[in-house]
Amino acid sequence: MADTALTDQELLSLLRTFIAKSGQTILVTDANLAAPGGPMILDANEPAAHVSGYAVRDLLGQRIGILYPPESLPRVLAQMREAAETGEPVQLEAIAATKSGKPYWMEVSTIAVLSPAGTPTHFFRLGRDITARKRAETERETTQRLLASVFGVIDQALGVIDDHGRFAMVNTAVTRQFGWSVFDLIGKPFTEIIDPAERPIVERQVTTSDEMTCRMSARLRRRKGDIVAGDIAVTTIPQPDGRPYRVMMLTERTQRAVDKSFEQALRRALQGGGQHGTVVAGKLQLVGLAEVRAAIGERWPALAERSFQVAENILRGHLGPTDVFSRTSDDGFLVCFAELDESEAQFKARTIAAEIRARLVGEFPEMAETDVTGFATTVEVDADDMVPENAIVNALEARLTRERKRLEEAAVKAMRARLTTAEVWFQSVMTDSLQAAPITMTRLPAELEEAQSTLLALGRTEFVSQTELLLLTGAAERVLAELKQNRTDLLLTPVRLATLTHRREAEHWLQVARTLGGPGKKRLVVEICELGRDTARARLTDVTMMVSSLFRAVAFELPTIDPNFVNHLPITAPLVTIEARLLGDNPTAAVTKLIKALLPRRCRLIVKNAASPAAAAALAKAGTPLISLSAPD
């Protein structure tokens, strides 16, 4: 059968035919990603010319940037760079521009042609115009937002039921009056909110009624399971495609019972009938929503509902089965932690706040200027607090506010008193055999580290730049002092991603970094911290390129134990870190998954701030390559 194989000339002829006849746009470029405007176009087919408005002859020899507006080109080059790094096809949706400047959407798959040495020689880009699809998606989303806005401002509990009898939409009044959130009901049968004993009767009446509007009495089920008497009215609205949609109106005929969850938590804190006790409580608050309300006007009700549903869903995912929480009137949540001590609750509150902030900004660009703070402490309660829930919430909020103010003032006082005279601490990192590794971490003195952590949890960042410069300067001084010793061990110094993406703050920090020259580049590793779970890979790549020439290497602090997050990191990262507390209840399994994800990248893992030598030994036994303890040496 060997004589049936195609010759190189035949394969080349077939390839040319495919490029010429394909209905997709096809471009062949060189691999010069560093050139202004990107790689050069070496070949193009007629569909590419038709979509772009250029003739084929006008495309040849041009840089690929001719096809994209300036704001889209960095993403296109990042896609091509990723294809070269991974050797796999990479797909991207981006806005392109015709010869006349008219924008349109393209979906493009990029394939890198690699040499035997693994370096790219050419790129194939296969694309299709998806402008019509994007326009339809935008129009559909606009319609849904308008409908959600109308539903959001109506105080009557309403739900939309699709032709399969499932909820397609519910409004905020359903949440306020019955406790069900959008995530609880969307895609679920409408009978979810009906007493199970009455579901067959209600479903039969709703689906078989010949009237446009069907009204009936029904026992309604709240999210927590309690049943109340009520009425429902279902109006059928036929659609042009023949499918019937129904709008359901829910009315409760009895006064809603008081939710006893906070009262029960407080009674448990009183240890079986005493007059005084303590409870670990916390406050999570969305800060800066007034500006968002003013900016988006009438769209605010829909955005607010969706935002708080996201926040509530994240909150539920982090809390234990006996923890309770309540929405407050000032854009926040009050939480009672039933099984955590104060330190654990503080870390949990900060973790939840960071995740809510990342999700909100990732899903709702309008929320970019908002912040989410998380705070927890131990507060005293007494028998006089055994009153209806709202009064309990008010009492706990008042005590939390007083305690927060006290801790905030103490933290600010500590930072102002010690920051200008503080000396950087250096902490050794251990190997999996619990021996000293050739890596040292720069740390703030314990008092400043605790004060900084407290202020960050409360949304105050005014001291961050000073502490980052202090750590960088301390590392630089040590490098220069040890210059004659010709040491090769590494010093790890942290900086927040927010600092490097803020032009003014980044410039102050980079000015110090640039003064280090060769000695700094030989021994310093910059650790980029506080990444969001939804941080774009292109942003991390840009930051890496910004600082990589000044340091030995660039490391990243993982915000999650999810191994998939590793794929968001630049392929060049040689080292990642993660807080020991983020490993969860099964640190051995979490470490195993992370190490497996990092192995193909030849990337090392440091688990930071193990709670004790025993915890460090357990991590070492699980195979953790590098470990640090919570307290500096």
Q: Do 235 and 246 touch, CB atoms closer than 8 A? A: yes
Is residue 7 one of the residues assigned to a domain? no
- Of the pLDDT bands very low, low, confident and very high (cuts 50, 70, 90), residue 61 is very high
User: 502 φ, ψ to 5°?
Assistant: -100, 115
CA distance 536 to 494: 20
What mean pLDDT is predicted for residues 316-329? Answer: 80
Is residue 321 one of the residues assigned to a domain? yes
586 and 483, same structural domain? Answer: yes
443 and 351, same structural domain? Answer: no
CA distance 526 to 392: 47
124 and 143, same structural domain? Answer: no
Is residue 267 one of the residues assigned to a domain? no
Is residue 2 one of the residues assigned to a domain? no
Q: pLDDT (tens digit, 9 = 90+) per residue, 233-280? A: 888 877 666 677 888 888 886 443 334 566 666 666 655 545 567 788
Burial 471-485 (b: 16+ CB within 10 A, else e): bbbbbbebbeeeeee
Residue at a domain's end among 398, 415, 432? 415
Q: Is the predicted pLDDT of residue 155 greater than 80, yes or no? A: no
Mean pLDDT is lowest, of 81-85, 123-127, 283-287, for 283-287
Q: What's the CATH number where 342 sits?
A: 3.30.70.270
CA–CA–CA angle 381, 384, 387 (5° rounding): 100
503 and 619, same structural domain? Answer: yes
CA distance 477 to 460: 28
- The predicted pLDDT at position 271 comes to 55
Helices (H) and strands (E) in the chain, counts: 21, 22
Q: What's the CATH number where 32 sits?
A: 3.30.450.20
Q: Do 257 and 278 touch, CB atoms closer than 8 A? A: no
556 and 520, same structural domain? Answer: yes
Q: pLDDT (tens digit, 9 = 90+) per residue, 162-208? A: 888 898 888 888 888 888 888 888 889 999 999 887 888 788 878 77
CA distance 367 to 381: 36
Measured in residues, the chain has a length of 633
Q: pLDDT (tens digit, 9 = 90+) per residue, 564-602? A: 888 888 888 899 999 888 887 788 889 999 999 998 888
CA distance 325 to 334: 5
- Strand 157-161, strand 167-170: pairing: antiparallel
Residue at a domain's end among 252, 284, 311? 252
Q: Could you give the residue ranges of the DSSP H alpha helices within 364-388?
A: none
429 and 405, same structural domain? Answer: no
425 and 567, same structural domain? Answer: yes
From residue 340, alpha-carbon distances to 352, 406, 610 in Å are 14, 22, 18
Rg of the chain (C-alpha set): 30
Is residue 171 one of the residues assigned to a domain? yes
285 and 387, same structural domain? Answer: yes
CA distance 85 to 570: 10
Residue at a domain's end among 352, 385, 415? 415
439 and 368, same structural domain? Answer: no
Q: State which residues form the domain around 247.
A: 134-252
Q: Do 282 and 375 touch, CB atoms closer than 8 A? A: yes
425 and 391, same structural domain? Answer: no
How high is the mean pLDDT of the chain? Answer: 83
Q: What is the DSSP string of 485-546?
A: GT---EEEEEEEHHHHHSHHHHHHHHHHHHTTHHHHHHHEEEEEE---TT--HHHHHHHHHH
Domains of the chain: total:
4
- Of the pLDDT bands very low, low, confident and very high (cuts 50, 70, 90), residue 97 is very high
Edge to edge, the sheet with strand 324-327 lists: 324-327, 332-337, 276-287, 371-382
Q: What's the CATH number where 426 sits?
A: 3.20.20.450
Q: Do 367 and 292 touch, CB atoms closer than 8 A? A: yes
Is residue 263 one of the residues assigned to a domain? no
Virtual CA dihedral for 567, 568, 573, 574, nearest 10 degrees? -40
CA-based torsion, 276, 277, 279, 285: positive or negative: positive
Q: pLDDT (tens digit, 9 = 90+) per residue, 443-455? A: 999 899 889 888 8
- List the beta strands (DSSP E) in 179-293: 213-221, 227-238, 244-252, 276-287
Is residue 266 one of the residues assigned to a domain? no
Task: Tally Cβ neighbours within 10 Å of residue 597.
Answer: 18
516 and 390, same structural domain? Answer: no
**Torsion-angle region of 51 (φ positive above 0: left; ψ -120 to 50: alpha; else: beta):** alpha
> At residue 93, what is the residue type?
E
pTM > 0.75: yes or no: no
Q: Do 87 and 78 touch, CB atoms closer than 8 A? A: no
Half-sphere exposure of 483 (CA within 13 A, CB side): 10
> At residue 219, what is the residue type?
R
Q: pLDDT (tens digit, 9 = 90+) per residue, 34-48? A: 999 999 999 998 899
Is residue 194 one of the residues assigned to a domain? yes
358 and 224, same structural domain? Answer: no
